[in-house]
Amino acid sequence: MSRLLQTPFLPSVSLPTKTRSSVPGFRVKPRTIPIQAKIREIFMPALSSTMTEGKIVSWVKSEGDKLNKGESVVVVESDKADMDVETFYDGYLAAIMVEEGGVAPVGSAIALLAETEDEIADAKAKASGGGDSKPPPPPPPASPPTPAVESPVAVEKKVAAPVSVKAVAASSVHPASEGGKRIVASPYAKKLAKELKVELAGLVGSGPMGRIVAKDVEAVSAGGGVQAAVAVKEVAAAPGVELGSVVPFTTMQGAVSRNMVESLAVPTFRVGYTITTDALDALYKKIKSKGVTMTALLAKATALALAKHPVVNSSCRDGNSFVYNSSINVAVAVAIDGGLITPVLQNADKVDIYSLSRKWKELVDKARAKQLQPQEYNTGTFTLSNLGMFGVDRFDAILPPGTGAIMAVGASQPSTVATKDGRIGMKNQMQVNVTADHRVIYGADLAQFLQTLASIIEDPKDLTF
């Protein structure tokens, strides 16, 4: 496994570094699927291939709210991350069957969607067997529209995660699969699936062009026993995995594990910095409509700073020499099903912000389809990891082998600060923390790099050229 996952940290999603307004818990968004005409059920989606049940973090909408296709309805916590689930249909959220905090097995109904207001009552009646339906609270209407734009991760999640039968289909993006109508699996994968009784329709392939190959089937089968057992047993009890069970690594986990262990051979150190993001937020607000994403902005800012500090963009592989990399390729860690991957924004210092944003979108789409070509995820010279969307204010990352440094980005949060003119004020600030290979990058290098980065972010006019 090449370097899927060479980054250590958790799923970072896109980089919306900033938790948007209030609610700290961020969410990513996949989608949900209803069934049934008129009154449709909203199912607990399978957000990853290993997910057997999901916990309702919060309902974004309340009973009675009108839903538009594509809107986020609920935030679900899978075994990997929280994700927004959006509806595929217009209608009204008629009845919530699983309350916040509740757990439901994948595929079970968690809410009912009525096509018209009139049907809400019917739906409620229907749901009455299910859960009491009381409109749950956190409908922070502001947060749902969490910029789809800026949460690539979300997208990522979708990818990996077959959301429902239908969604699954969609996830198989092999060109010949005609959008999921056909299953593209290698001969041996088919054979194994039959033997191991694995349903290929639910699988996302890791082979070329998203093809399902033998190891995908094996991975599911290895995790599958557990999965099935849990599903049966657990309906609303403890979330998560079966305690005490031993679960073999999936291929991706194995790769991550190897990379992580390998990283121990590199002497690293960390330098942190707090950066005020008011100006960046303002800029983002201004150009968001042009398709610019926060991820691209951060990558761009980082790349411009790297251009001034080439040593931070260098890499040392043999311990005797190091390379000043000729291009600045910013890898951005993205959580995907069963692990994470680092799509690379190549020449991020040279490409303009709009192209960069489009490129990022394209990469995320490809990652979703598992169609990233190796050069699209293993050519990074510097890595960004962002957990800000989860409200994380600071963390540190493990250095991916083969690169010189990685930057962990926390959430941008309103903070009270003393300003230079002696007053106290509120500013949005985020903390970044760079982990670097001390064989080639020294403390002063990082310090200067961070200073440059801070000045770029605090005065972001250069980002748009």
Partner 1 sequence: MQSALSLSFSQSSLPLANRPFCSSNAAPSFTPRNLRFCGLRREAFGFSPSKQLTSCRFQIQNRRIEISASAGNGAPSKSFDYDLIIIGAGVGGHGAALHAVEKGLKTAIIEGDVVGGTCVNRGCVPSKALLAVSGRMRELQNEHHMKAFGLQVSAAGYDRQGVADHASNLATKIRNNLTNSMKALGVDILTGFGAVLGPQKVKYGDNIITGKDIIIATGSVPFVPKGIEVDGKTVITSDHALKLESVPDWIAIVGSGYIGLEFSDVYTALGSEVTFIEALDQLMPGFDPEISKLAQRVLINPRKIDYHTGVFASKITPAKDGKPVMIELIDAKTKEPKDTLEVDAALIATGRAPFTNGLGLENINVATQRGFIPVDERMRVIDGNGKLVPHLYCIGDANGKLMLAHAASAQGISVVEQVTGTDHVLNHLSIPAACFTHPEISMVGLTEPQAREKAEKEGFKVSIAKTSFKANTKALAENEGEGLAKMIYRPDNGEILGVHIFGLHAADLIHEASNAIALGTRIQEIKLAVHAHPTLSEVVDELFKAAKVDSPASVTAQSVKVAV
Sites of contact with partner 1 (CB under 8 A): 174-176, 178, 182, 184, 186-188, 190-191, 207-209, 211, 213-214, 373
Judge contact between 193 and 200, C-beta under 8 A.
Answer: yes
388 to 141, 393, 430, 456: CA distances (angstroms): 20, 6, 9, 19
Mutual angle of helices 278-287 and 294-308, in 10-degree steps: 130
Catalytic annotation, pick one of 361, 394, 438, 439: 438
How many CA atoms lie less than 13 Å away from 421 in the CB half-sphere? 1
DSSP secondary structure code for residue 66 in this structure:
E
Closest CA to 153 of 47, 276, 54, 28: 28
Q: How far apart are alpha carbons 312 and 306 in whole angstroms?
A: 6
Residue 336, token pair as written in the block: 């995907």
Q: How far apart are alpha carbons 122 and 227 in whole angstroms?
A: 34
Rg of the chain over Cα atoms, rounded to whole angstroms, equals 23
Q: How far apart are alpha carbons 320 and 312 in whole angstroms?
A: 17
Residue type present at position 455:
S
The least distance separating partner 1 from the CB of residue 208, rounded to whole angstroms, comes to 7
Q: How far apart are alpha carbons 252 and 205 in whole angstroms?
A: 12
Q: How far apart are alpha carbons 458 and 301 in whole angstroms?
A: 10
Is 309 annotated as catalytic?
no
Beta strands 268-276 and 344-345 are unpaired
Q: Angle at the Cα of 426 (from 421 to 427), degrees rounded to 5? A: 95
Other beta carbons less than 10 A from residue 462's beta carbon: 12
Beta strands 72-77 and 103-105 are unpaired
Q: Which residue has the tokens 């909408």?
A: 61
